[in-house]
Amino acid sequence: MDLELLKTTLDELGEPSYRFDQVWGWTAKGVAGYAEMGNVPLRVREELEAKVPFSSLELVHQQESQIDGTIKALFHTKDGRPVEAVLMRFLDGRRSLCLSSQSGCPLTCTFCATGSMKFGRNLTTSEILDQALHFRRMSEVDHVVFMGMGEPTMNIDNVLASIHRLPDVGVTHRRTAISTVGWLPGILRMIEEPLPIRLALSLHAPEDELRSQIMPVNERYPMEDVLDACRTYADKWNRDVFIEYVMLGGVNDQVWHAHQLGRLLDPKRFKVNLIPYNPTGSIYDASERSTIQAFRETVESYGLRTTVRVNRGRDIDGACGQLAAKALSDAA
Give tens-digit pLDDT for 3-33: 999 999 999 999 999 999 999 999 999 999 9
Amino acid at 9: T
Which of these three, 54, 72, 94, is where a domain ends?
Answer: 54
Average pLDDT over residues 254-266: 98
| C-alpha distance from residue 31 to each of 4, 27, 34, 77, 138 (Å) | 20, 6, 8, 21, 10
Which of these three, 35, 54, 73, is where a domain ends?
Answer: 54
Same-domain pairing of 41 and 98? no
Same-domain pairing of 140 and 8? no
Do the Cβ atoms of 163 and 173 come closer than 8 Å?
Answer: yes
Q: CA-based diameter of the chain, in Å?
A: 68
292-310 per-position pLDDT tens digit: 999 999 999 999 999 998 7
Q: How far apart are the first and last CA of the chain?
A: 28
Same-domain pairing of 225 and 323? yes
Pairing of strands 241-247, 121-122: unpaired
Residue 270: closest CA among 215, 185, 206, 209? 206
Q: Residue 305: which residues within 8 A CB-CB, separation 6 or more?
A: 240, 267, 271, 272
Same-domain pairing of 204 and 69? yes
Same-domain pairing of 99 and 42? no
Same-domain pairing of 100 and 59? yes
Do the Cβ atoms of 91 and 83 come closer than 8 Å?
Answer: no
| Domain of residue 29, residue span | 1-54
pLDDT number for residue 328: 44
Same-domain pairing of 15 and 90? no
Same-domain pairing of 99 and 6? no
Same-domain pairing of 24 and 93? no
Which of these three, 13, 34, 54, is where a domain ends?
Answer: 54
Same-domain pairing of 267 and 194? yes
Same-domain pairing of 208 and 121? yes
Number of domains observed in the structure of the chain:
2
CATH assignment at residue 5 = 1.10.150
Average pLDDT over residues 58-72: 91
Q: Which residues are catalytic?
A: 84, 320
pTM over 0.85: yes
Alpha-carbon torsion angle 121, 309, 306, 246, nearest 10: -50
CATH assignment at residue 86 = 3.20.20.70
Alpha-carbon torsion angle 307, 269, 223, 233, nearest 10: 120
Average pLDDT over residues 118-127: 93
- pLDDT bin (cut points 50, 70, 90) of residue 325 is very low
pLDDT number for residue 311: 67
Above pLDDT 70, what percent of the chain? Answer: 92
Residue 182: closest CA among 149, 145, 219, 237? 219
Same-domain pairing of 11 and 76? no
